[in-house]
């Protein structure tokens, strides 16, 4: 039974990546630390992440993490100074979790088991002196005139000098991340930047693309684009763009390339008018591809269009080449030497700027993170403390921070959680 009479130094609400790290950090400094988690298991999203392998971080430095988060990345400078990607790897290694760097730069446990990461964190927090309580939903919290907080839960009320909210966002609600922390933050006067699902697959009703389900094209450069205005002289800038692996699915698109631009789709008011423009040869210019096709024409002999294009670009599955030729209105069995310059240009266009209609995303149910959250300008980035309420701290996904696939979001959670625990 947890002691409800004593005044805790800190109560942490949410036992995920940021919460467990914050608990270990605070307890190591001798602070009486209590972590409350509503699920039966701690770190449920850790267990699910990376295909149950857990992409711990990315093989880069602090600057690389900051740049990956775009306009909000600068908020992470202080947190990364206290726990960099290298520090994170060193910590997990010391906890018995040996790590490896894959060709993508992603860092995974050598065991390929997310449970090893979760279990190491739980042991670390407990060995540091933190008290961890699962199956303990929190219903509300308030601040007394004395400056202390009261946290109301299924296990009673807990009085404490500081609170760290690490309740996550709205992604994968089946894990218990149902946005619990947002109303509490609002109750203390904080603004919540509008939330949308991020790192989630894209929906497309393009039937011929859906028939390519299971095909992966890596690398593919993708851009999310709005329709051009009639009579506009300048081409609109894409809402988002990236380069990575693109997976065709029966419902649309997945893989890092599609998921990294998904928040731009989810946050757009007219999702059903957007297009995903794909460049399947991002390392080559359009003119170079056209020249390659022209050169191939002169030596094609009696070979078909399907055969020549497949030979030129062996990285593309036959099913994709067939569809690209169909979209270019070029019969697969037409002799390549007989193709006109216009037909070659259409093939180049399909390879370099093929546009698919996009109708939205799979939403929070399949989102790895939440875009939006507690407004960063209201939080002291040097401590993770609220600028509005003394001794109230935030860490992890509840903040308006979301990065690309590749371990960046976990690094943000480890670093902000660690800094909050040190500062509370």
Report pLDDT digits (tens) over 71-113: 999 999 999 999 999 999 999 999 999 999 999 999 999 999 9
Q: Residues 285, 223: one domain?
A: yes
Q: Residues 348, 377: one domain?
A: no
Q: Is residue 330 part of a domain?
A: yes
Q: Residues 226, 351: one domain?
A: yes
Q: Is residue 1 part of a domain?
A: no
Examine the pLDDT at 369 and tell me if it is beyond 60: yes
Q: Of 195, 210, 204, 269, which is closest to residue 239 (Cα–Cα)?
A: 269
With cut-offs at 50, 70 and 90, classify the pLDDT of residue 128: very high
DSSP string, 315-371: TS-HHHHHHHHHHTT--TTSBGGG--HHHHHHHHHHHH-EEEEE-EE--GGG-SEEE
Q: Is residue 321 part of a domain?
A: yes
Q: How far is CA 366 from CA 45, 131, 341, 345, 355, in A?
A: 12, 32, 44, 38, 24
Q: Residues 246, 113: one domain?
A: no
Q: What is the total count of domains within the chain?
A: 2
Q: Is residue 33 part of a domain?
A: yes
Q: Is residue 122 part of a domain?
A: yes
Q: Residues 399, 270: one domain?
A: no
Q: What is the pLDDT of residues 372-414, one digit of tens each?
A: 999 999 999 999 999 999 999 999 999 999 999 999 999 999 9
Q: How wide is the angle at C-alpha 187 spanned by C-alphas 185 and 189, nearest 5°?
A: 75
Which residues are CB-contacts of 284 (< 8 A; sequence separation ≥ 6)? 292, 352
Q: What is the pLDDT of residues 274-326, one digit of tens each?
A: 999 999 999 999 999 999 999 999 999 999 999 999 999 999 999 999 999 99
Q: Residues 75, 117: one domain?
A: yes
Alpha helices in 7-113 (DSSP H): 17-28, 44-52, 62-68, 77-82, 85-94
Q: Residues 150, 135: one domain?
A: yes
Q: Is residue 236 part of a domain?
A: yes
Of the residues 338, 362, 386, the one at which a domain ends: 362
Can you give the pLDDT at residue 228? 77
Taking residue 41's Cβ as centre, other Cβ atoms within 10 Å add up to: 16
Q: Residues 276, 257: one domain?
A: yes
Residue located via tokens 């290298």: 86
CATH code: domain of residue 98: 3.50.50.60
Q: Residues 358, 370: one domain?
A: no
- Give me the domain span that covers residue 386: 7-196+366-423
Q: Residues 98, 66: one domain?
A: yes
Q: Is residue 2 part of a domain?
A: no
Question: Rounded to two decimals, what is the model's pTM?
Answer: 0.94
Examine the pLDDT at 231 and tell me if it is beyond 70: no
């Amino acid at each position: 039974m947890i002691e409800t009479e004593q005044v805790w130094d800190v109560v942490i609400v949410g036992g995920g990546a940021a919460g467990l790290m914050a608990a270990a950090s605070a307890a190591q400094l001798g602070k009486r630390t209590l972590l409350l988690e509503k699920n039966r298991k701690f770190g449920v999203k850790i267990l699910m992440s990376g295909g149950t392998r857990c992409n711990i971080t990315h093989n880069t430095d602090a600057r690389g993490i900051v740049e990956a988060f775009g306009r909000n990345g600068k908020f992470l400078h202080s947190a990364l100074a206290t726990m960099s990607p290298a520090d994170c790897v060193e910590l997990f290694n010391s906890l018995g979790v040996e790590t490896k760097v894959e060709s993508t730069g992603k860092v995974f446990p050598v065991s390929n088991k997310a449970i090893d990461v979760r279990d190491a964190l739980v042991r670390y927090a407990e060995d540091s002196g933190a008290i961890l309580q699962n199956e303990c939903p929190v219903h509300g919290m308030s601040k007394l005139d004395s400056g202390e907080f009261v946290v109301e839960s299924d296990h009673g009320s807990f009085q404490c000098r500081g609170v760290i909210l690490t309740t996550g966002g709205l992604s994968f609600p089946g894990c218990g991340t149902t946005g619990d922390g947002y109303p509490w933050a609002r109750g203390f006067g904080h603004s919540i930047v509008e939330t949308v699902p991020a790192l989630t697959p894209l929906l497309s009703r393009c039937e011929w693309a859906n028939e390519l389900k299971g095909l992966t094209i890596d690398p593919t450069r993708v851009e999310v684009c709005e329709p051009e205005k009639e009579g506009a002289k300048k081409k609109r800038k894409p809402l988002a763009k990236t380069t990575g692996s693109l997976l065709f699915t029966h419902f649309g698109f997945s893989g890092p390339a599609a998921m990294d631009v998904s928040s731009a789709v989810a946050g757009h008011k007219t999702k059903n008018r957007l297009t995903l423009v794909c460049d399947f040869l991002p390392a080559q210019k359009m003119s170079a591809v056209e020249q390659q096709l022209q050169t191939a024409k002169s030596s094609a002999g009696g070979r078909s269009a399907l055969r020549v294009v497949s030979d030129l670009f062996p990285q593309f599955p036959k099913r994709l080449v067939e569809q690209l030729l169909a979209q270019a209105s070029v019969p697969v069995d037409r002799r390549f030497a007989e193709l006109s310059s216009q037909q070659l240009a259409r093939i180049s266009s399909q390879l370099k700027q093929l546009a698919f209609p996009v109708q939205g995303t799979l939403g929070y149910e399949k989102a790895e993170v939440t875009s939006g959250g507690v407004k960063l300008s209201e939080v002291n980035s040097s401590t993770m403390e609220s600028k509005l309420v003394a001794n109230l701290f935030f860490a992890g996904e509840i903040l308006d921070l979301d990065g690309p696939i590749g371990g960046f979001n976990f690094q943000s959670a480890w670093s902000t959680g660690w800094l909050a625990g040190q500062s509370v």
